[in-house]
Chains A and B, each alone.
Chain A
Amino acid sequence: MVGIKDLGVGIGWRSEIDLTVERLPGVDFVEVVAENLHIGHLPESVTLLLERGVPVLPHAVSLSLGGADPVDLHRVEHLGAVAEAVGAPMVSDHVCFVRAGGLDSGHLMPVPRTKDALDVLVANVKLAQANLPVPLALENVAALLEWPDGELSEGQFLAELVERTDCWLLVDVANLYANARNIGTDPERFLDEIPLERLAYVHVAGGEQHGDIYHDTHAHAVLPEVLEVLDELCSRVAPPGVLLERDDNYPSDTEIATELAAIRAVVDKHRG
């Protein structure tokens, strides 16, 4: 299987910044949150971007692939339908669980890095893949807490996942930075351990330090330290795409354009 073609630099499309995304120069591709779209009623702005030939990639947040329950095929079906509606070459979700024991955490929770959790994740991912029209990429999440009995590092866990499912990886360098700050992940070791040839694209986002905890808020500016992790990644591989995620407290068009330019500068530096 070949990876997706060169995507360039993109931004997460959100209804609150639809006009911004449309008029900003240098938006090569966008992501849409699959759960927010209804088949047959795509937002006008997304249709406009598609007409311009801008690739639109569906990103899901609710499959709970790392959850103990078998993956909900209705959710997988919706994600696949969104992919077909926007002609996407790939879809994505996270290495996480959202629901357990009848409760919904409302967030992307880390899974224990144990054999049990990996076996269940692999089974769920395979079932999702069998029911999707395009390849699936999986993203590393930001964790505020660590499960007590991890048997593998995060990089090893993801490498095993790729090995057993042939999925793609969506590496979020802000989440990697968050885990380095909060749970002691070593970003260089992480990048050494994951199969970079299976890199689909990269996420970058802003956050905020509160005391000794870094919060991956997607509502603040991108820290220079996060761009340093991107720089480290780009020194090892040319990422097919890099996408900025902003979900709240939206800044001016100029500020967003500046962040996109800073991302592009890091990517271009390594392309020489």
Chain B
Amino acid sequence: MNENELLVARERLAARQTELLNALLSNGPVPAGFDEQRLNVERRALLSKRRGIVRMLGPAVADELGDRFRPLFDAYAVEHPRRAGSRAREDAASFAEWCRASGELSAERKARWKFWQSN
């Protein structure tokens, strides 16, 4: 195949993969032909993996939020799907910042104090 054919194949594939990730990561419409129930299973699996990583990277935030951690994270995640090239640590920091901005988490100074105490 020539370069032009490859470029066209890349474009068609990009459209399909983007549509699927939008459905899975930011509650976009279900792409044609997919089983909606399975899409929901995949959506929950991806969310659960991301939530687990953020909990592991920011245990103090998760502890402070307690039972609110999960619903808050899930709301944050749909609003802020991870950008390509971003790091998991940035995701954890951005979630903490989002919680502070909405008053769900105390000011950063206290979080740092807790970090020092735990070390």
Contacts and interface: CB of A to CB of B under 8 A. Distances in A.
Contacts of A101: 14, 17-18, 21-22
A70 B6 CA distance: 10
B60 interface: no
Nearest to A116: B9
A224 interface: no
Interface residues of A, number: 32
Contact of A144 (B14, B33, B38): B38
B50 A106 contact: yes
Contact of B82 (A70, A104, A213): A104
Nearest to B5: A119
Nearest to A215: B45
A97 B50 contact: no
Given A104-B86, A106-B53, A123-B6, A67 B38 contact: no
A147 B16 CA distance: 10
Contacts of B83: 102-104
Contacts, number: 96
Contacts of B75: none
B35 interface: yes
A109 interface: yes
Contacts of A115: 9
A107 B17 CA distance: 13
Given A102-B83, A107-B46, A148 B32 contact: yes
Contacts of A109: 17, 20-21
Interface in B27-69: 32-35, 38-39, 41-42, 45-46, 49-50, 52-53
A68 B11 contact: yes
Given A105-B24, A120-B10, A99 B84 contact: yes
Nearest to B24: A105
A104 B84 contact: yes
Nearest to B91: A106
A69 interface: yes
B107 interface: no
A69 B82 contact: no
A163 interface: no
B12 interface: yes
Nearest to B12: A116
A155 interface: no
Contact of B17 (A67, A119, A215): A67
Contact of B21 (A70, A100, A147, A248): A100
12 contacts: A100-B17, A100-B18, A100-B84, A101-B21, A101-B22, A103-B81, A104-B84, A105-B21, A106-B46, A107-B46, A109-B20, A116-B9
Given A148-B33, A149-B33, 10 more contacts: A67-B17, A68-B14, A100-B17, A103-B84, A104-B85, A107-B45, A109-B17, A119-B5, A119-B9, A148-B32
Interface of B: 1, 5-6, 9-14, 16-18, 20-22, 24-26, 32-35, 38-39, 41-42, 45-46, 49-50, 52-53, 81-86, 88
Interface of A: 67-70, 97, 99-107, 109, 111-112, 115-117, 119-120, 123, 144-149, 213, 215, 248
